[in-house]
Structure 1
Amino acid sequence: MADIRTYNVVILGIGFLLIFTAFTTCGNIEQTVVKSLNNTTFSGSGYHSLGIIYGVFSFCNLLAPTIVAITGPQLTMFLSGILYSGYIAVFIIPSTWSFYFTSVLIGIGAAMLWTAQGHVLLENSDTSTINRNTGMFWALLQCRYKQRVTSAVTEAKTEFKTILDIFRTKTILLLSFCMAYSGLELSFYSGVYGTCIGATTHFGEAAKGLIGISGIVVGIGEIVGGGLFGLVLKNNRFRRTSVVFLGMVVHFVAFYLIFLNIPDDAPVVLKTSSQHKPYMAPSVSIALLCSFLLGLGDSCFNTQLYSILGRVYVEHSAPAFAIFKFTQSIFAAVAFFYSGYVLLTWQLLIMVIMGFTGTLCFFIVERLQNVSADTQEY
């Protein structure tokens, strides 16, 4: 039985690897592809498409548990995978209406997919393997849902009421700043930064090819951080603040290097290549180093947010993680919508302010939890 459950988790991981290799690649290059289309009938924006995806995803995430309970996780994942394939297939023959229509569909499918994934992951885990399995899917811990459903309507009402109650707690209000920052930097590393690299004329003919390489390096940073902080330090409450502080420092170093290395107008929608000169001669090595740092810092914030939410809301983990995903996705959607019109310097400044504020709020929450634990022990 144990071997079968492990096999199921491995197959689940491979399936997500294939889906998101395609989708992440698409997200990294789509703004560059869209800007280069010489087609008077196409007026879509890659940033707007990604904004729609995350906007729809954020709201559907609150309703997904009920839908998955009715249709079943396996069928839900199959149908969601088809929606992902449909979105990517639009780029074969691009048209504005299908581009935005499938953006809405994939937003719905994403919420269903992540929820179903969490259900299957928990079905194939127990107390001795849950840390290992959730380490593989550390970014998906918000999907801890009940395995037995009696009344879908009743459950939906109960879940929604619990979400509203938790939303008003001091812990969530403070952590929402850190969640918001995770959404801003998610949009930056998953779509904006690759576009900036592709638009940097100083990189010459290699610029467009560097977009894909950058995405791979971001993934390496995520894997290193996820493996180290998601598994090794997952259950150590005194290390959470250290990891989050490290994530902030790593991101701030990356932002400063990007500020120096990438032209200020690189993310602007109406340009296919940069016109401004950066503060230093653009370096491919520095650009890719920043990609790694963006992935590493992202894993620092996400693993510790999941860890603290899982500790504070042990009995209501599903609503707590749903709030996290909702807040993160809302800010990612907002960031995608303004990214095509705001110069790089101002985007970086927004993330620095939110990153510092989010880290400070995380420290306050951790301090409050430690004091509460000490009081209970006393």
Structure 2
Amino acid sequence: MKVHSSWRYNSPFVQVLLVSFVCFCCVGQFSAIGSLGAGGTQSITLSNITNAILYALFALTGIVAGSFNNLFGPRITLFCGSLGYALYVAALWVYQEKAQDWFLIFSGAVLGMCAALLWTAQGCIMLSYPLEAEKGRSFAWFWAIFNCGSLLGGLIALGINLKQGGLDAVKTTTYIAFFAVIMVGVASTWTLLPPSRVVRTDGTLVKVEKSNTARQEIAALLSTLKKREILLLLPMFFASNFFYPYQGSIAFKTFDSATRSVNGVVKAVGQIVGALILGFLLDKLPMGRRNRGLVGLAVTASFTIIAYSWGVKYQIPITRATHWERKINYHDSTFAEPMSIFILYDIGDAFYQGLAYWIMGAITNDPFELARFAGMYKAVQSAGAAVAFAMDATLVPYINEIGAVFGLMLFSFPFAGLVIWGIRDSNYEVENQVYVDETAAEENNTIAVLESGNQAAPQFDRQSSGSSEKKI
């Protein structure tokens, strides 16, 4: 078997780096704008309305986003998804100039649909392109690069605070800069190769089958909705973004503006560190894949219990009626405990999201199926986030809110464990894998037969990459 370099342009690693850069430019800048306070509009009501519509359409579109990806391919899906981020920033720009509420709300609706497409294509590329033994690192690299965009946003917000003493309405030049970066991301989607041209390091092709018809894809989507593993993972999907509204609300309640900016920087760093740690655990531990998954689950569950137990203890004396004459500043001695809790939250978030992605990637290597999985994950995740935002908007007591977050995560772990327990140490033996040198040999064989006058070319014997027979 011929070994191929990881740094070829058509290698999974380079393709994952490219999609990571697209998400850095698009999603990363969206997160960066969020760090500026209500998208920079300083209107919490308008921001909440926009986000509510965004997440609702995100959830609905996520259900069919995998089928869209399978019909049109990840490159077109990613391109269409990236356009929504450009429109959203353009709407913020217009809002600063003309105060057009309707356009901002409309852009949020479009972004919800586009984000489902972008994240589905991203999930398909990240999970189906690498070898089974590289899927943990694939998530780690993607999550680290993507969160550099959030880190950028935190640094921008922190710089504004340190210079101006607060986050006032953002200048239009800031939006122009963000828009330019996002357009670089939109253009970068066309640097991605079609799956059929991506060759893994062991010489196998990512996809050799033809795309489904619309009717076949609808039937496959209905089959995915009834799949046992997906049904067991629904609690994990639902809880995976449920904690964001609570964490944002308690940070706003506790920290002053400058300290929230510091928290934004630390949050991104925690996400990067957590992703790199989990990627190592899931790929490098000297044991079978199922056992690596169980170790990853144990580490994630333990981290979650420690972080949220400490968080509940800190939360108990703080209610929505609590009022401080002065909120906590990062220079204060009282800053250390809540900041430590938030660091644990952020590392744990990367663990939780990474484990969910890794489990999906361990169920199958089929890019069509994984696209549907990714779409379903984002759909249910967004539905959970919408419910969580609604809870926070209705001023549910903080202790009830963190209890719901903690309870949902604990509830999801046994079901995730059942899925991990049922995964194989490899899917190569049950899923046909085709080598790039086999396809070349088959094409040459066919041409030779046709040139000799025989119209019926013989079938080429395709071996799976799980076979013990080596290819030269």
- Normalised by the size of structure 1, how large is the TM-score? 0.74
In structure 1, how many angstroms separate the alpha carbons of the residues matched to 2:309 and 2:242? 16
Match of 2:336 among 274, 285, 289: 285
Residue 376 of structure 1 corresponds to which residue in structure 2? Answer: none
Report if the CA contact (8 A) 1:221-1:292 is conserved.
Answer: no
Name 1:109's counterpart in structure 2. Answer: 114
Aligned counterparts of 2:419 and 2:134: Cα–Cα separation in 1: 28
Q: Is 1:12 matched up with 2:19? A: yes
Q: 2: CA distance between counterparts of 1:301 and 1:205?
A: 28
Q: CA deviation at 1:89?
A: 3.6
2:397 aligns with one of 340, 343, 362:
343
- Change in Cα spacing, 1:135 to 1:43, as seen in structure 2 (3 Å) is closer
Number of the residue aligned with 1:275: 323
Determine helix, strand or coil for the equivalent of 1:283.
helix
Which structure would you say has the larger Rg? 2
Give the superposition deviation at 1:347.
Answer: 1.0
Is 1:220 the counterpart of 2:272? The answer is: yes
- Does the Cα contact within 8 Å between 2:77 and 2:117 map onto a contact in 1? yes
SS in 2 for 1:4: coil
Moved more, 67-76 or 283-292: 67-76
Distance 2:370 2:128 in 1: 16
The Cα offsets for residues 230-268 of structure 1, whole Å up to 9 and x where unpaired, read as: 4335963124333323323323333344445567456x9
1:182-206 superposed Cα distances (whole Å, 9 cap, x missing partner): 2313xx2xx5423432332xx4453
Q: What SS does structure 1 have at the residue aligned with 2:63? A: coil
1:158 aligns with 2:219: yes
- Which of 287, 297, 301 is the matching residue for 1:244? 297
Report the residue type matching 2:87 in the other structure: G
1:292–1:24 Cα change, 3 Å: same
Task: State the distance in 1 between where 2:59 and 2:288 align.
Answer: 28
Residues 29 and 194, structure 1, Cα contact 8 Å, conserved in 2:
no
1:310/1:172 Cα in 2 relative to 1: closer, same or farther (>3 Å)?
same
TM-score between both structures, scaled by the size of structure 2: 0.61
Q: Which one is further off, 10-19 or 307-316? A: 307-316
**Quick check: which one's helix share is greater?**
1
Which shifted more, 335-344 or 207-216?
207-216
Q: Secondary structure at the match of 2:388?
A: helix
Cα distance, 1:84 vs structure 2: 0.6
Counterparts of 1:8 and 1:226, CA distance in 2: 21
Cα 1:152–1:362, aligned 2, differ >3 Å: closer, same or farther? Answer: same
Question: Does residue 310 in structure 1 map to residue 312 in structure 2?
Answer: no
Counterpart residue type for residue 16 of structure 1: C
Specify the alignment match of 2:417 in structure 1: 363
Change (3 A) 1:105 1:309: same
Q: Name the CA distance, whole Å, in 2 between partners of 1:121 and 1:365.
A: 20
2:384 is aligned, of 331, 340, 343, to 331
Cα separation, 1, equivalents of 2:233 and 2:133: 29
1:328–1:292 distance in 2 versus 1, CA, 3 Å: same
Q: How many residues align?
A: 345
Q: Aligned in 2, Cα 1:89/1:232: closer, same or farther, shift over 3 Å?
A: farther
Structure 2: unaligned runs, 5 residues or longer: 147-194, 196-205, 425-472
8 Å CA contact 1:53, 1:106 repeated in 2:
yes
Q: Among the aligned pairs, what percent are the same residue?
A: 20
Computed over aligned residues only, the root mean square deviation of the Cα atoms, in angstroms, reads 3.9
Whole-Å separation in 2 of the counterparts to 1:49 and 1:228 = 38
Shift of 1:349: 0.6
**1:254/1:19 CA distance change after superposition, 3 Å:** same
Task: Tell whether 2:134 aligns with 1:82.
Answer: no
Q: CA deviation at 1:105?
A: 0.9
Q: 5+ unaligned residues in a row in structure 1: which ranges?
A: 269-273, 371-378
